[in-house]
Structure 1
Amino acid sequence: MKVFSHDSAGNKSLINYDNFTFSGGEEHIRFHSPSLLEVVKIEIFERLTDSSKIIRLMMAVDALKRLTSENTPIELVIPYFPYARQDRVCVEGEASGAVVMANFINRLNFSKVTIWDAHSDVSPALIHRVINIEQIALLKQCEELSSRLTNGELTLISPDAGASKKTLKISEQFNGVPEVIQAHKVRNLKTGEIIKTEVLGNVEGKNVLIADDICDGGRTFIELAKVLKNEGALEVSLFITHGIFSKGLDVFTGLIEHIYTTDSFKAANEFKNNTNINLQIIEM
Structure 2
Amino acid sequence: MIETMVRTPEGARPDDLEFLRFPGGEWFLRTGPAFDPEAERFAVVRGGFPDDLLALGMWADVVRRHGKPARVLMPYIPAARTDHDIPCGAAVYAAVIGAFADEVIYADIHSPLAKSTLRGPTLTEIPLGRLACSALPRDYDLVVAPDAGAGERAAIVAEALGAEASGAIPVAHGRKHRDPATGRLDGFELSTPVTGLRVLVVDDICDAGGTFAGLAAAGSFDTAERVDLWVTHGVFSGGDRLAANLAPYSRVYSTDSHPGARATALAPDRLHLIDLVDHVLSEGIL
Which TM-score band (shorter chain)?
0.7 to 0.9
- CA distance in 2 between counterparts of 1:253 and 1:158 reads 16
Q: How far apart are residue 30 of structure 1 and its match?
A: 1.7
Displacement of 1:65: 3.1
Q: Pick one of 127, 134, 146 that aligns with 2:127.
A: 134
What amino acid sits opposite 1:154 in the alignment? D
Structure-1-length-normalised TM-score: 0.84
Which aligned pairs between 1:15-26 and structure 2 lie closer than 5 A? Answer: 15-22=15-22, 24-26=24-26
1:272 to partner: Cα distance? 3.6
Q: How does 1:51-90 map to 2 (within 5 A)?
A: 51-66=50-65, 68=66, 71-89=67-85
Counterpart-to-counterpart distance in 1, 2:10 and 2:244 = 45
Q: CA deviation at 1:49?
A: 2.9
**3-state SS of the aligned residue for 1:270?**
coil
Return 169-178 or 210-219, whichever deviates more.
169-178
Q: CA deviation at 1:268?
A: 6.5
Q: How does 1:47-196 map to 2 (within 5 A)?
A: 47-66=46-65, 68=66, 71-89=67-85, 94-110=86-102, 112-127=103-118, 128-142=121-135, 145-148=136-139, 153-173=140-160, 174-175=162-163, 177-196=168-187
How far off is 1:16 after superposition? 1.7
Amino acid at match of 1:73: P
SS at match of 2:213: helix
Task: Show CA shifts across 1:38-83 (max 9, x none).
Answer: 33x32111214312111111122223334x1xx1222111111111
RMSD over aligned Cα atoms: 2.5
Q: State the distance in 1 between where 2:47 and 2:154 align.
A: 26
Alpha-carbon contact 2:235-2:260 (below 8 Å) kept: no
Corresponding residue SS for 2:80: coil
Q: Larger helix proportion, structure 1 or 2?
A: 2
Give unpaired runs (5+ residues) of structure 2.
277-286
Who is 2:254 aligned against?
261
Cα distance in 2, alignment partners of residues 279 and 5 from structure 1: 29
Given the alignment, which residue of 195, 220, 226 partners 2:217? 226
Q: Which protein shows a greater Rg?
A: 1
**Normalised by the size of structure 2, how large is the TM-score?**
0.83
Amino acid at match of 1:137: R
The alpha carbon displacement at 1:165 in A equals 1.2
Partner Cα separation in structure 2 for residue 205 and residue 12 of structure 1: 44
Match of 2:3 in 1: 2
C-alpha separation between the residues in 2 aligned to 1:103 and 1:210? 33
The number of residues matched between the two structures is: 267
Q: 1:283 aligns to what? A: 275
Q: Percent identity?
A: 28
Please name the residue that 1:237 is paired with.
Answer: 228
Q: Would you say the 8 A contact 2:255–2:273 is kept in 1? A: yes
Q: C-alpha displacement at 1:107, in angstroms?
A: 1.8
